[in-house]
Chains A and B, each alone.
Chain A
Amino acid sequence: MKQILIFLFWLLIAVVAIALTIVLGERGAWYFAWVLGTVMIVLIAAAGTAIIDARYEEHHDDQY
């Protein structure tokens, strides 16, 4: 039951995202692109930094 609810939640998120894309796309989708782009930039910068940090520590590499 819990898994179905989680699945439905993400399905709802996906439907809302698609609806938003369609509505905003008709107006020119730059605001939507900004939201998506900012999230991606933050995620890639954060995840990339954390992963590289871990990799260097694994190799006991203090260089920069």
Chain B
Amino acid sequence: MQELDTVIELSRLQFAATALYHYLFVPLTLGLSVLLATMETIYVITGRDIYRQMTHFWSKLFAINFALGVATGLTMEFEFGTNWSTYSHFVGDIFGAPLAIEGLMAFFLESTFVGLMLFGWGKLSRGKHLLVTYMVALGSNLSALWILVANGYMQNPVGSVFNPDTMRMELTSLPDLIFSPEAQAKFVHTSIAGYVTAAIFVVGISAFYLLRRRHIELAKRSFRVAALFGVFATVGVISLGDALGFINGSAQPTKLAAMEGLWETAEAPAGFNLIAWPNQEEKRNDFEVQVPYLLTPLVTHTFDESIPGVNDLEADAETKIRDGIPALIALQTLRENPDDAEARATFDAHQDNLGYALLVQRYAEDVSQATDAQIAKAAADTIPPVATVFWSFRVMVVTAFLMMAFLILAVIYSLRGTLHRHNWFLRLAPWMIPVPFIANEAGWIVAELGRQPWTVYGQLPTWLSASTHSVGYMVFSLIGFVLLYTLFIVIEMFLMVKFIRLGPSEGKHESPAEPTSQRHSSQWSEA
């Protein structure tokens, strides 16, 4: 059992490491693709060559990030099969469909058009090249959509039913899966977080150029378009963050309790823990600073609903475990004799809590003999690591508001044409580039660690989901992945810094193909 626990922890660590590395690349791809389309739209509308140069320069940085994002993402899809084979068997019927659609539709769309976007300058007309850039943006975001539909299922399994004969979840409604509130809000939140990431990336590098008085024409326009693009996106990302919190309130109450550091059920109007030091062993906060009355409207969007705390949720989990045990016993009977009507009736009556019974199997192989202590231990497992989730959530929220304030200032200075008077802001902007990446990673930790101890919330515990590899195999592959992915990050940083230092090579690239007479004409200057 101890070796199994080690393998599970190593499998989790490996997936977390690869996902966190991969997620350093993804948001920039999502956002920069749309920002490129925005810049190229201005070029097509105004006909001014500076906007073509802008699109061309930023698309080089996009290409570096895209290539490394794809390289780090591919291994993750295989990890489901290699390290999480029980999980893949259990939800393959549901999880497989969005992943296949992602591969066949979004990824192919994105990969095909990215080549045309990068190498189509001078070969495609302005309009066709713009269409290609929009296709890249659409493909990138559709890739994210299908992955997040799959992830949304793990957070809130809808549109499926467990089949005791095949021992797996089976899809009952594709629309329910695709349009689940969790999937929808998660996708929009993630996609728009990518927009903010790209906006701050472009603003930061443009500020670097402006401070050094290099490529001023390109940098000031890039700054302006990215600041405008980013300021609306930050408002969107914060709104969607609130929507996700609201959805989690009903779909994943344990995650919400951990996010808010709530040990006891909070009666309305509850205070919001601005800062706290959660102590999971003693089930209390060692220290807390509260803003009174704020939590209830924030989380429930009402003024009179209570919010369940960890202690009540644990008690509720204990009840569910006890209710689910007959379903697990009946399932074992059905595996030996599928025609046993009594076992099937028992299973049907208790199947809603089958997943909770699987939690106690970790401590009692024969669940019919499970002691109160073992059930209590399994119930305690239903609470995710509170301190990590609590603080990751706060890091995400604080950085989101920081980025919003930063982008509002960027818009004001840029629109008033007073950026040159605020050197402190230009110096600050490049240091803001890591902030959205920190927010993205913190958000991912809240979402995934907050879902524990489940791979599929309420249905399949993490401890049952992993493959049965040896510890040596897991350690070897984990070290291999960490070294390889670290190398990818070093390559990305090296290439990014190299191309940023080189800057845009203005005038050296061909414009999209068009008659010579039109090439230098500008509707804008004519007007």
Is B128 at the interface (CB under 8 A from chain A)? no
- State A30–B145 Cα separation when bound (angstroms): 12
Q: What residues of A have a CB within 8 angstroms of the CB of B38 in the complex? A: 41-42, 45-46
Q: Given that A45-B232, A64-B420 are known contacts, is A30 also in contact with B221, CB under 8 Å in the complex?
A: no
Tell me, rounded to whole Å, the shortest Cβ–Cβ distance linking A8 to chain B: 25
Min CB–CB distance B199 → chain A (angstroms): 9
Report A43 CB to chain B, min CB distance, Å.
8
B236-252 vs A: 1/0 string, CB under 8 Å?
10001001000000000
The answer to whether A28 and B232 touch (CB under 8 A), given A49-B42, A64-B414, is: no
A64 to B410, CA, bound (A): 11
What residue of chain B has the Cβ atom nearest to residue A30's Cβ? B184
Are A27 and B240 touching (Cβ within 8 A)?
Answer: no
Q: Given contacts A49-B42, A50-B45, is CB(A64)–CB(B216) below 8 Å?
A: yes
A30-B240, A37-B192, A42-B38 known; A64-B210 Cβ under 8 A: yes
CB distance from A34 to the nearest CB of B (A): 4
Chain A residue nearest to B524 (CB atoms) is: A54
Other-chain contact of A45, B46, B175, B228 (Cβ < 8 Å): B228
B483 to chain A, nearest CB (A): 37
A45 touching B188 by the CB < 8 A rule? no
Query: Which residues of B lie under 8 Å from residue A3 when comparing CB positions?
Result: none
Which chain B positions have C-beta within 8 A of A48?
224-225, 228, 415
Chain B residues lying within 8 Å of A50, measured Cβ to Cβ, are 42, 45-46, 524
Name the A residues within 8 Å of B243 (CB-CB). Answer: 30
Which listed residue (A27, A30, A63) contacts B188, Cβ 8 A?
Answer: A30
Q: Which of B434-461 contact A (CB under 8 A)?
A: none
Asked if A45 and B225 sit within 8 Å, CB to CB, the answer is yes
**CB of B262 closer than 8 Å to a CB of A:** no
Question: Would you call B420 and A33 a contact (CB within 8 A)?
Answer: no
CA distance in complex: A38, B37 (Å): 11
Give the CA-CA distance A28 to B187 in the complex, in Å.
13
B185 beta carbon closer than 8 Å to chain A: yes
Residues of A within 8 A of B228 (CB): 44-45, 48-49
Q: Is B83 an interface residue (CB 8 A)?
A: no
Q: Mark A43-63, 1 if CB is under 8 A from B, else 0.
A: 011101110111010000101
Q: Please, which residues of chain B bring their CB within 8 A of the CB of A24?
A: 179
Say yes or no for B208: interface residue by CB 8 A criterion: no
Name B404-426 residues within 8 Å CB distance of A: 414-415, 417-420
Q: Contact between A64 and B191 (Cβ–Cβ < 8 Å)?
A: no
Closest CB of chain B to A57's CB: distance in Å?
A: 8
Known contacts A40-B232, A41-B195, A64-B414; decide if A28 and B221 are in contact (CB<8 Å): no
A31 at the interface (CB under 8 A from B): yes
Given contacts A52-B415, A63-B420, contact A27 B175 (CB under 8 A): yes
Please tell me if the beta carbons of A64 and B225 are within 8 angstroms of each other in the complex.
no
- Cβ of B120 to closest chain A Cβ, rounded Å: 20
Of A27, A42, A49, A63, which one neighbours B37 at CB under 8 angstroms?
Answer: A42
Interface residues of B in 137-174 (CB under 8 A from A): none
Closest CB of chain A to B207's CB: distance in Å?
Answer: 10
Q: How far is A56 from B220 in the complex, measured between Cα atoms in Å? A: 12
Shortest beta-carbon distance, A14 to chain B, in Å? Answer: 23
Is the CB–CB distance between B224 and A31 below 8 Å? Answer: no
| Residues of chain B in range 188-224 having any CB-CB distance to chain A below 8 Å | 188, 191-192, 195, 210, 216, 219-221, 223-224
Q: Which residues of A contact B210 (CB under 8 A)?
A: 64
Known A46-B38, A49-B224, A50-B524; judge A34-B187 contact (CB<8 A). Answer: yes
Residues in B37-59 with C-beta less than 8 Å from chain A? 37-39, 41-42, 45-46, 48
> Can you name 21 A-B residue pairings with CB atoms under 8 Å?
A24-B179, A27-B184, A28-B181, A30-B243, A37-B192, A38-B191, A41-B232, A42-B38, A42-B229, A45-B38, A45-B226, A46-B41, A46-B42, A48-B224, A48-B225, A48-B415, A53-B46, A53-B221, A53-B224, A54-B524, A63-B419
Q: 7 new A-B pairs (CB below 8 Å) besides A31-B179, A37-B192?
A: A30-B188, A30-B243, A37-B232, A44-B232, A50-B45, A54-B524, A64-B414
Binding site for A on B (CB under 8 A): 34, 37-39, 41-42, 45-46, 48, 175, 179, 181, 184-185, 187-188, 191-192, 195, 210, 216, 219-221, 223-226, 228-229, 232-233, 236, 240, 243, 414-415, 417-420, 524, 527
